[in-house]
Amino acid sequence: MGLNVGRDQEYFRCVCPGYSRLGNAIIKGLWTVEGFNYVGKYYTIIGGILADKPTPTPPIFIAGESDRAIDLAARLGDYLFINADDPEKTAALVQKVKRLASDRYGRQIKVAMSAFAIVREHTAQAEARLEAIYRSADQQQIKYFQELIDPNVVAHNKLDISQTIEANLGLSAQLIGDRYTVINRLKEYEAVGVDLIVLKFESMLEDTIRFHIY
């Protein structure tokens, strides 16, 4: 299950009141307790029942890179879900949340990262495909997205103009190339402590099969 801290303060006030209690108390309570009761500021549940409780209990992903999101994940989450970035910057974020979870809350947490991949038999083919994607990008949509960028969002502050064609800065992972290039890049993220990479492709069916074959 994923919890999002909200893209900005207004979004948070409208959509996400009390979300930390929602994630920790209500969802986990319904997953694990028969006749679950909860009384809080925003939510009240009396004798709540969730049939066919999930086994094992699903992991909770908390997405964000702000200090507030990192603290929430360290305190309540199973995974902190982050945007793609280069391995060095990713390493700092990984160390920050894992150290916080251990030192402040006495628990362990994992880190998942969103990334976009183009894998071909030869690196030149993958790079050519990426250039074709750039050329065919809808400039009006890119402009619209740029107008909506909130400077208070951590990820938006590190946004490169070329990355606006893909959500969550997935191209920053640089998983573009032949299988050896991509595998070596994945190993770099593994080495800095990333536990899971959620891959996105231009074509989820064809490219997933191609990724598996290569």
| Spatial contact of 158 and 13, defined as CB atoms under 8 Å apart | no
Q: What are the angstrom distances between the C-alpha of 79 and each of 31, 119, 177? A: 18, 27, 28
Residue 38's nearest CA partner among 55, 21, 19, 58 is 21
- CATH class of the region 59-213: alpha beta
The residue written with tokens 């191209």 in the block is: 171
Give the model confidence (pLDDT) of 91-104 as tens digits: 999 999 999 999 99
Q: What does the alpha-carbon distance between residue 139 and residue 202 come to, in Å, rounded to a whole number?
A: 18
Q: How confident is the model at residue 37 (pLDDT cuts 50, 70, 90)?
A: very high
Determine the pLDDT at residue 212. Answer: 79
Report the percentage of the chain scoring pLDDT > 90.
Answer: 40
* Predicted pLDDT of residue 165: 66
The pLDDT of residue 5 is above 60 = no
Cβ(175)–Cβ(183) under 8 Å? no
pLDDT tens digits, one per residue of 189-199: 999 999 999 99
